[in-house]
A and B are shown apart, each in its own frame.
Chain A
Amino acid sequence: SQGQRNLEGYVGFANLPNQVYRKSVKRGFEFTLMVVGESGLGKSTLINSLFLTDLYSKDYPGPSLRIKKTVQVEQSKVLVKEGGVQLTLTIVDTPGFGDAVDNSNCWQPVINYIDSKCEDFLNAESRVNRRLMPDNRVHCCLYFIAPSGHGLKPLDIEFMKRLHDKVNVIPLIAKADTLTPEECQLFKKQIMKEIQEHKIQIYEFPDIEDDEDSKLIRKIKERMPLAVVGSNVVIEVNGKKVRGRQYPWGVAEVENGEHCDFTVLRNMLIRTHMQDLKDVTNNVHYENYRSRKLAAVTCNGGVDTSKTKNQMTRSPLAQMEEERREHVMKMKKMETEMEQVFEMKVKEKKQKLKDSEAELERRHEQMKKNLEAQYKELEEKKRHHEEEKSNWEAQQRILEQQKLDASKTMEKNKKKGKIF
């Protein structure tokens, strides 16, 4: 990119935010809020106070009034409108949580619910034909801590440890009007200490660039966890109508910052950080879920190797393409190897055959030579014999001749009478 450019004159894209505003209002908003805590901690009352409506009422009773044998996770959806802005609010509650004698694994239904909403979203996002589907993922989980004044219960720790990497967890001290400010301070300190000890990551309200607001936010962070009081009842105090809890000794006002942190919670949760809670859910918690889920499927069941790390940064399609290419190479290699072995074996065999042929050839030659030698010998013998025979015959002939001549001479002499 070419670096910042200053424009000389009006262009108009400064109007983009307005366009975004307009479109978002047209679309409307969604938010899913989960409330978790034992019965009787004032969860329903707090929700009603937060949203200034009878979300929970006689017709729609809160979780503590819906007694269950096992922990259920249930949701109710309401549509609220304000200032032209429409909000579809889903409240998820967990009747039965922490109420049993044995509460082992009572967080499991909660985890299952959160995961299943992520799964729904993942499936919708992964379809070939993607269609309109509302975002039902849990954007925030308000966890209610009983105002014991001592510290977190094992269940509190266990729950938050298991959920903090799946959802934005905001711990609240419930029914804070049973604690004095000093008790509350100590309680908060103790809780934060334990949260840090157990490395629980609760939702952190992010800093905003605005200096003014960031001071505010720091102040708020010092107040964590927020101690809240809720009320469905409107009381008149000093001529003003306020929500509060009437006691013989006075009225605990819900929206009084000196009485409790309700206003802080409301402002943070609804007026300033609702969008951020959704963004963190989408960009962090959901992405973690998704990469875990997909890694399990496509990368050796999530076994962490250097190969897996490579695969994570590639899309599964590219991954398959890579695998296919690898396989083609492997096949090619195998083919060449097999070919080589084949050729070698054939060569061997051919060579053997050749050798054996040569051997046989040689032997045959040998025998032939042998035979020829014998023939020659025979010929030689024959010739010798012929020669001898002819010599002897010649000799015999001479002898015969001599004999003949001798007998002829004798005959002659006989005839001549020269006989003594």
Chain B
Amino acid sequence: MPSFYCAWFVFNTCTGEGARAVPLAGHVGFDSMPDQLVNKSVNHGFCFNILCVGETGLGKSTLMDTLFNTKFEGEPTQHNQPGVQLKSNTYELQESNVRLKLTVVNTVGFGDQINKEDSYKSIVEFIDTQFEAYLQEELKIKRTLHSYHDTRIHACLYFIAPTGHSLKSLDLVTMKKLDSKVNIIPIIAKSDAISKSELTKFKIKITSELVSNGVQIYQFPTDDETVAEINSTMNGHLPFAVVGSTEEVKIGNKMVKARQYPWGTVQVENENHCDFVKLREMLIRVNMEDLREQTHTRHYELYRRCKLEEMGFKDTDPDCKPFSLQETYEAKRNEFMGDLQKKEEEMRQMFVQRVKEKEAELKEAEKELHEKFDRLKKLHQDEKKKLEDKKKSLDDELNGFKQKKTAAELLQSQAQQAGGSTTLKRDKERKK
């Protein structure tokens, strides 16, 4: 992208603050600047991303084909999708010398589920993902913004079913969730099903419902005098009632895009029949660039701001001194590192604590063990003593017995000697 695009938030102050106006004495030539800029952007090529949100069967693909006069890919989707998916396709188109990289994103399965509470979520997520990708690129240290393929959604065509009554609650809920993230252009799909009088009432009803629910739809800009008038008129025709068709029918001597009914032919490009031409004018021919600009300077900036604030970045410190980028990064990083250090320290401390506790526990167990064994030892000692006592008493008894025995034997031997002599005496007497 040429530098003007990247520095878009950097609006040149048209008043030239602090500059003194000086007259020119001739043709200098800087009036070619817009041409220089245009040449560069033409050489670079343009890109545009459209998101089509609407129930299955509202003619989203057909309308895209009609708008861009080309048959885009895809088979008509079935109604049995489990959730809302977003399918995107990119095409390289060229008209005259202008190259356009067009991405068409379709919501598949929108409105098909029984419970549609989460339908909007995948859409919001998709939009945010594109913002996130751009933000990440923007924040890189070595970045290549000027060759970045911008996938951010520049316009969201919201397809309203041609009931003729009012918006469905799903429509209101979804648009409310999307209006701060993307430029919403509501359109009444397959509007050939509605009569002219019903259409007027329908449009009024829709507009009032949008207003009363605070839904911010995209307003065609009226600040540039060149286009202010047409834009403001068109704003009054919203939502556009469109009919799409890639079939051609011969009307007079021309082939025109139309839908043929028994009662007549609806001509797509006939402004009396539908607002298709208005849509094409506004979306493509007049405000495509503004849609891109709004996406970048408003919706993306909002996303970025929220994201950065979420991460804790802020612009000023309590002393109201603005931080420079490095200071912010450094501060954030230091805080972050500090946090990590703290966590590490905490974990260490916790471990130290556990170790201490376990040590105490084990010490306690050890102590118990020793006590146990001390007790056992004591018991053992007691037993030993008892044994000793018993031994001693036995020894005493043994000694006593021994003495007794010795004494008895002594007596016996004495008695024997005496007896022997008595016997001798007896024997002697006998012999006499």
Interface residue ranges, A against B (CB under 8 Å): 1-17, 19-31, 50-55, 77-90, 119, 121-135, 209, 266-267, 270-276, 278-279, 281-283, 287, 290-291, 293-299, 311-318, 320, 323-324, 327, 331, 334-335, 338, 342, 345-346, 349-350, 353, 356-357, 360, 364, 367-368, 371, 374-375, 378, 381-382, 385, 388-389, 392, 396, 399, 403, 406, 419-420
Contact = CB atoms under 8 A, between A and B. Distances in A.
B301 A126 contact: no
A283 B41 contact: no
A415 B380 CA distance: 68
Contacts of B19: 77-79, 88-90
B289 A79 contact: no
Contact of B325 (A1, A126, A283, A299): A126
B365 interface: yes
B121 interface: no
B394 A23 contact: no
Contacts of B100: 13, 16
Contacts of B304: 128, 130
Nearest to A209: B43
A61 B344 CA distance: 64
| B interface majority secondary structure | helix
Contact of B313 (A128, A311, A331): A128
B109 to A, nearest CB: 23
A22 B228 CA distance: 12
26 contacts: A2-B92, A5-B91, A8-B70, A10-B69, A14-B97, A16-B46, A16-B288, A16-B289, A19-B289, A52-B28, A55-B22, A122-B325, A124-B10, A127-B315, A129-B315, A134-B13, A135-B10, A270-B28, A274-B30, A291-B141, A297-B330, A317-B136, A353-B362, A357-B369, A367-B380, A420-B432
B125 interface: no
A315 B139 contact: yes
B286 interface: yes
A27 B12 contact: yes
Interface stretch (B75-83, B237-245, B382-390): B382-390
Contacts, number: 367
A338 B351 contact: yes
B320 interface: no
Contacts of A356: 366, 369
Contacts of A79: 16, 19-22
Interface string B89-108: 11111111110110000000
B32 A271 contact: yes
Given A5-B92, A324-B336, A78 B22 contact: yes
Contacts of A85: 30-31, 33-34
A282 B6 contact: yes
A274 B36 contact: yes
Q: Which of A20, A52, A298 has the most CB of B within 10 A?
A: A20
B201 interface: no
Given A12-B281, A275-B3, A374-B387, 12 more contacts: A19-B286, A19-B287, A23-B289, A53-B24, A77-B19, A79-B21, A85-B34, A131-B9, A283-B145, A298-B141, A318-B139, A382-B394
A346 B95 contact: no
* 9 closest A-B pairs by CB: A315-B139, A83-B31, A12-B285, A126-B325, A19-B289, A282-B3, A77-B19, A275-B36, A271-B29
Contacts of B94: 4-7
